[in-house]
Amino acid sequence: MLKTVSVLVLDGLAPFEFGVICEVFGIDRSADGVPNFDFKVCGPEAGRPVRMSIGASLTPDHDFSALVGADLVAVPAISGPYPEEALDALRAAAESGSIVLTVCSGAFVAGAAGLLEGRPCTTHWMHADELARLYPTANVDRNVLFVDDGNLITSAGTAAGIDACLHLVRRELGSAATNIIARRMVVPPQRDGGQRQYIDQPIPVRCSEGFAPQLDWILANLDKPHTVATLAERAHMSARTFARRFVDETGTTPMQWVTDQRVLYARRLLEETDLDIDRIADRAGFGTATLLRHHFRRIIGVAPSDYRRSFACDAVAEPA
C-alpha cells in the first residue's frame, strides 16, 4: 500500500517535473475517495532554499533523512552535479525497500546513485544516449513513456512523468483512484505508448467544433455496425472526403478510431462490471468474444481476463 511519498529536491530542480509529482501525490483528495499520502519535500537542509532552474527558489520542509523509509521516493528532473549526501540518502532509501520513481532527467540522479546498473530504464529522448553512455550497464529504452521495473520506475520527458505517476497509482491503489486523480488533473489515466497503454476517456482529440458531433454520435453508438461509407453518409460527405477529414481531425483513420474506442469501452466494462466477455463484446460493438480478444490484446497488450484480474474496481474476476 502506497502511503508515504518523499520527493528529492536539489539546486537545479525543474519546476514542471516537480509539479507533476506534487499534483499526483501531494494534494489531499481524500474527500473524493483517494487515500491521502504523507507527502514530504526533502532537500539538503530543512528550511534552506534550493534554486530551481528558472531563477526561483523552493524551500523544503525536510532534509534527506526523510527519504529513508518512505514507500515512494520521487526524483524530478535535476541538473547535476549531485551532492554525495543526496546520493547516499537515495541509495539508503532504495536499500530499505522504497520504490524509486524518476521523472525525465531524474534518471541521471538514480544512475549516479548506482540504481540503474543492469536495470531497464528510460529518460527524455534527448538525453537517452547520454544516459546510456554514462551508465553502460543500464538497459536504456528510448521508445517508451516509462519503464516499470518493480521498485524502479523511470519516465521520459515532462508529460510522461504524469503517465508514470498515474501508472504507479494504478498499480498500487487500483484504477478507481487513478481515474479520480486523472479526472481532477484533466488528463487521460493512461496514454498510448511503448507500454501499450491507452486512454480511458474516449475523446482526447482536439477536433473542430463542427466535427465533434460526429465523434460524439459514434461513441454513443459503438454497438452498431459502422463503415466509412455509412459514417460519411451520416455526415453528408463523400466517403473520400470524410476519410480525409477524419484523419485531419483525429490523426487516425475512421475505422481504426472506432476500433480503439470499442477497446477502451470494453476496458471500462472489464474494470467496472461483472459482465461476461460475450456481453462485453456485444456492447462494445465487436460482435464476438474472439474479435474482442484479438483487438484488446493488440491494443492493450494483455488478454481481457488478465486485465480484469489486475484492474477490476470491485475485484471482478469472471473468466474473459
| Cell 469472471 sits on residue | 318
Residue 110 contacts residue 154 (beta carbons within 8 Å):
yes
The values of phi and psi at residue 25, to 5°, are -110, -15
The residue count for the chain? 320
Neighbours of 157 (CB within 10 A): 20
Instruction: State phi, psi for 47 to the nearest 5 degrees.
Output: 85, -5
Q: How far is CA 298 from the centre of its chain?
A: 19
- Quick one: cell of 6? 518523499
Distance in angstroms (rounded) separating the CA atoms of residues 147 and 154: 5
**Largest pairwise CA distance in the chain:** 67
Catalytic member of 42, 104, 121, 165: 104
CA-nearest of 254, 251, 265 to 295 is 265
42 noted as active-site residue: no
Which residue spans within the chain are E strands per DSSP? Answer: 4-8, 38-43, 50-51, 57-58, 62-63, 72-75, 99-102, 120-121, 139-140, 146-148, 152-155
What Å distances lie between residue 99 and 14, 58, 192, 255, CA to CA? 21, 24, 24, 41
Q: Sheet of 146-148: strands edge to edge?
A: 62-63, 38-43, 4-8, 72-75, 99-102, 152-155, 146-148
Amino acid at 145: L
CB 86 within 8 A of CB 110: no
Residues acting as catalytic residues: 104
